[in-house]
Amino acid sequence: MLLANPEAIRDDIDGVKMFCEQIVLYLAHVPLRKDIITMELEKLQHFLRKVSYHVPKQHADEIVEVCLKTLYKHMVSDEETSMYASVVLDLLDKKELIKQGVQWILQQNNDTKAIKNVFKTLMHWLTAQNQANDLVALMSG
């Protein structure tokens, strides 16, 4: 519905941020049964990309930041993060934001366990069939 009415996206940026945050949480917790998630995943990935396209750059950056911070919070927790959440990484501007993202992760916490959880999740995604297109670029950033 939001994609059919791009004006609604531009008019309620805070609502869109909260909605995107819920999408990330859903993806992070989604069951690993591929038959259930495949079609939904494509729709959610498409939605996240379209949202960032339909809003001004400043708001698109804010939405991406909310999505990434939500993903990060889940990754540093003791809960396993579903590989389907890796689609969130596709929102990154590959050249510019990847280095910033890696630096941001390292600066967030002096807690070695939290950093290990993040990189453990990323490494798991590399060995599994992940949904992010350029996960290798993120890991080498």
Q: What is the domain partition of the chain in residue ranges?
A: 6-140
Residue 22: CB atoms within 10 Å? 11
pLDDT digits (tens, 9 = 90+) for 22-78: 888 888 886 656 666 677 777 777 787 777 777 787 888 888 888 888 988 898 888
Length of the chain measured in residues: 141
pLDDT digits (tens, 9 = 90+) for 95-113: 566 667 667 777 776 678 8
Tell me if 84 sits within 8 A of 37, measured CB to CB.
yes
Cα separation, 80 vs 95, in Å, equals 28
Q: For position 43, what pLDDT does the model report?
A: 78
Model confidence, pTM: 0.75
